[in-house]
Structure 1
Amino acid sequence: MNKQKIVIVENDQDEQFFMREAFENSGLFDIIAIVKNGDTLQEWLAGNGNNLPDVILSDLNMPGKNGYDILEEMKANAGYSNIPIIITSTSSTKNTIDKVMSLGAADYMAKPDTFIEYDPFAKRLYDIVGSKQLEKK
């Protein structure tokens, strides 16, 4: 299995910890950055153009630029528009999911309710990224 290079955009430190643990334990991802919002994502991308991620996992609701802003900015930038962005949030409302998908999200995943659910979350994310890469071929 090929490891996927991932950037995680998440402002909550506990969520960052659980995601890092699960993704590292899965052996499926190489976490190349964890940033706290869309502002810091743009700064990171500007300084790391030679090491772009295979996927970005972004929380939806954050201070500063949020998941909606990230989708709009990334899709408008030709250099980043092909990077799949998976949006995650505690909300699973149809309106929210429809909106992020209409803005160009590759998919939407509800955040796990408990920390022990992050291992299957990581596997599902890997499967989603793999299916999106097959669609592009």
Structure 2
Amino acid sequence: MSTLKPVLVVEDSAEDFMALGRAFRKHSLQHPVLRCEDGDQALEYLQGYGKRPEWPLTLPAIVLLDLNMPGTDGRTVLDTLKQDPQLASIPVIIFTTSSNSKDIEECYRLGANSYMTKPVNYPRLEEKVQLIVKYWLENTELPALN
């Protein structure tokens, strides 16, 4: 069993998640990657980690969060996470198609640690994933939660 904390990807698009997974593998990500398909599932995991057998017993190292999802959207997930003293120190990287300045401002106001727009082509996606892995998982000192 891996002692590395998972990377939580909150992404409703299976296609986007598969492309992300491919890019993570190409950059030899050692952390397990966990997908939640919507905001409700993400909050259920984050607020009740370890309560379901298929969920890791630890909180994620980082969260890659899509904004526009059906049901509970990324803004609500971000706000809920950053209001919760147990979860607030988990770095949240908004990873979305929106480059709208209002979305960017709102996400930082709600406590996002980073905001990246999803590139439309795969080589550019690989570059962004490499940056995320190198910065957040290889060079940054992350809080030791649980």
User: TM-score by structure 2 length?
Assistant: 0.81
- Which is richer in strand? 1
Question: Structure 2 vs 1, CA of residues 108 and 4 (structure 1 numbering), >3 Å: closer, same or farther?
Answer: farther
Q: 1:35 is matched by which residue type in structure 2?
A: C
Shift of 1:134: 4.7
Shift of 1:29: 4.8
- Within a 5 Å distance, the mapping from 1:83-122 to structure 2 comes to 83-122=90-129
Question: Structure 2 vs 1, CA of residues 10 and 22 (structure 1 numbering), >3 Å: closer, same or farther?
Answer: same
Answer yes or no: is the 8 Å Cα contact 2:5–2:58 preserved in 1: no
- CA deviation string 1:3-42 (max 9, x = no partner): 7731000000100100111112211352341011110012
Answer yes or no: is the 8 Å Cα contact 1:8–1:33 preserved in 2: yes
- CA deviation string 1:48-106 (max 9, x = no partner): 37311110001010001111001111011111111000001112122211110110000
Q: Which stretch of structure 1 is more off in the superposition, 111-120 or 97-106? A: 111-120
Aligned residues, how many? 134
After the TM superposition, list the runs of 4 or more consecutive aligned residues in structure 1 that deviate by more than 4 angstroms. none
State the SS of the aligned residue for 1:72: helix
Partners in 2 of 1:29 and 1:101 — Cα distance?
Answer: 28
Identity fraction in percent: 27
- Which is richer in helix? 1
State the SS of the aligned residue for 2:89: coil
State the SS of the aligned residue for 2:94: strand
Match for residue 47 of structure 1 among 37, 46, 49: 49
- Within a 5 Å distance, the mapping from 1:75-90 to structure 2 comes to 75-90=82-97
CA RMSD, aligned part only?
2.3
Q: Which stretch of structure 1 is more off in the superposition, 71-80 or 119-128? A: 119-128
Partners in 2 of 1:135 and 1:17 — Cα distance?
Answer: 26
Structure 2 stretches lacking a partner, 5+ long:
51-55
Partners in 2 of 1:93 and 1:132 — Cα distance?
Answer: 29
Answer yes or no: is the 8 Å Cα contact 1:20–1:31 preserved in 2: no
Partners in 1 of 2:11 and 2:67 — Cα distance?
Answer: 9
What corresponds to 1:73 in structure 2? 80
